[in-house]
Amino acid sequence: MNILVLGAGQLARMMSLAGAPLNINIISYDVGSEKLVHPLTLQVSDQSLAAAIAECDAITAEFEHIPDDVLTLCAASGKFYPGKQAIKVGGDRSIEKALLDKTGVPCAPYQLITDRSHLDVAIENLGLPLVIKTCQAGYDGKGQWRIRADSNIEQIWSEMSDFLAAGSKNAPHAIIAEKMIPFQREVSVIGARDKQGNMAIYPVTENEHTNGVLTLSIAKSIATDIHRQAVDAFSKLASEMDYVGVLAIEFFDVDGRLMVNEIAPRVHNSGHWTQQGTLCSQFENHLRAIAGLPLGTTEAIGPSAMINVLGQPDIPTEVLSVANVTSHWYGKTQRPGRKMGHINLVAESEEALGEKLLALSAFLLEDDYPGVARRGRDLSRG
Ligand code: ATP
Ligand code: MG
């Protein structure tokens, strides 16, 4: 079976690696160069996008910022999962918020901003501090501003209005102001839904972000009530979109109540631990769902963690000497802060996971790998 993936980054690469044992072949469409490439070697093919769409068995996407005409072309084939509308939910925060409002799934209170007066309304109604996010084109904390009591609002507005002005009639830009949520932690839920509506959901993951970028994920036992809220949000949102494939939902945990931060209509960085922490990774389950195959198990083999490698060209080889630790590289050229790869670990118990994190913290410095030592200490104490 041949699957076309829109996007040629690490998520397409890991889909390709998961697809091989299933006899599923992945070809990537690099939206930047508008060329078809092999997701592992990045070797360019001379096939046209139209030919690839015609010849493949299914189409999917590894990110949301895809030109509308490409989405339309893929949708017309009848083979595109999770489909154009779901990709728009992930690529436009105003569409995402509308879906959350419609399904009644709690999210951060917000105000849509398309002119200066809306900003005043947001400050008045939501109060400071505010998190301001572009509705289109944001990722890894980019396209965001924070407004606090002492912020220079006119300076921030001038940057916001530049973004609004860069929109066009066919692709208008908007901005969303959100109340700054005083959360205790961030969690995410990832699951797959097949064409018949069956769902397979992974254990809820705890995520730590540093400067807006995911640095550490931990999958371990979680309060039943948190699990129930996450699964409830997942089934409401996936059913409403008639979703097929893997869907990720990020939440803020505020005193035990989950509030959606973001919906990602794709495999997600906070689900990378499933490569070793389960017998059927998020990449494999995504391919199974869109290929019409039965979904695989989402049960964790044991408490697991994922550490992002940001901006580092390599890791000390000692990391791999810790039992049940694996590294996953994306084959990218190094840039400061860039997601270069990740480290997965799985353990027999939460204490053992803590001990492994502590062992790794001897080789992974706090500045580059924030939280590894702290979480290691907390978990190993039991
Ligand atoms: P990505 O798509 O890579 O996950 P993004 O650029 O789309 O990131 P968000 O997920 O919206 O951005 O925000 C990044 C991080 O900023 C969040 O994980 C959270 O730590 C913080 N953040 C975002 N919105 C709020 C909010 N309303 N209140 C408090 N913190 C927030
Ligand atoms: Mg996010």
Concatenated DSSP letters of 343-355: EEEE-SSHHHHHH
Spacing, Cα 211 to ligand 1 middle (Å): 9
| Pairing of β 25-30 and β 2-6 | parallel
Residue appearing with tokens 């590294």:
327
Atom of ligand 1 at shortest range from CA of 182? 29
Rounded CA gap, 36 and 27, in Å? 7
Residue 201: pLDDT above 70?
A: yes
- Ligand 1: which residue has its CA nearest to atom 9? 141
State pLDDT tens for residues 109-118. 999 999 999 9
Alpha helices in the chain (DSSP H): 10-19, 49-55, 68-76, 84-91, 93-103, 116-126, 153-165, 224-240, 274-277, 282-291, 350-361, 372-380
The pLDDT, as a whole number, for residue 171 is 85
Instruction: List b or e across 48-76, with b for residues whose CB sees 16 or more CB atoms inside 10 angstroms.
Output: ebeebbeebebbbbbbbebeeebbebbee
Distance CA 255, CA 258 (A): 8
CB 131 near ligand 1, within 6 Å: yes
Integer Cα distance of 268 and 339 in angstroms: 13
Give the pLDDT of residue 140: 66
| pLDDT of amino acid 329 | 98
* Nearest ligand to residue 176 Cα: 1
pLDDT at 141 over 70: no
Nearest ligand atom owner, CA of 64: 1
User: What would the pLDDT profile of 52-107 be if each residue is shown by its tens digit?
Assistant: 999 999 999 999 999 999 999 999 999 999 999 999 999 999 999 999 999 999 99
Quick: pLDDT tens for 331-377. 999 999 999 999 999 999 999 999 999 999 999 999 999 999 999 99
Which pLDDT score is estimated for 382? 78
**For atom 26 of ligand 1, which residue has the closest CA?**
180
Quick count: other Cβ atoms within 10 Å of Cβ 213? Answer: 16
Rounded to 10 degrees, the C-alpha dihedral 16/301/193/263 comes to -80
Q: Assess whether the C-beta atom of 181 lies below 6 angstroms from ligand 1.
A: yes
Q: Report how far residue 373's alpha carbon sits from residue 369's, in angstroms, rounded to the nearest whole number.
A: 9
Ligand 2 centroid – CA 23 distance (Å):
32
The model's pLDDT over 151-181, given as tens digits with 9 standing for 90+, comes to 999 999 999 999 999 999 988 999 999 999 9
Query: Is the CB–ligand 1 distance for residue 139 below 6 Å?
Result: yes
Cα-only R_g, the chain: 21
Pick the atom of ligand 1 nearest to 213's CA: 3
Of all ligands present, the nearest one to the C-alpha of 129 is 1
For the chain, domains (ranges, CATH) are 2-80 (3.40.50.20), 109-179 (3.30.1490.20), 185-380 (3.30.470.20)
Answer yes or no: is pLDDT of 44 > 80: yes
Inter-axis angle of helices 10-19 and 282-291, nearest 10: 70
pLDDT of 306 over the 90 cut: yes
Give CA–CA dist 128/125, Å, rounded.
9
Mean pLDDT of the region 262-279: 98
Q: What is the pLDDT of residue 283?
A: 99
pLDDT at 235 over 70: yes
16 contact partners, CB below 8 Å, separation of at least 6: 5, 26, 28, 39, 40
State the residue for tokens 């505020």: 254
The answer to whether 50 touches 29, Cβ cutoff 8 Å, is: no
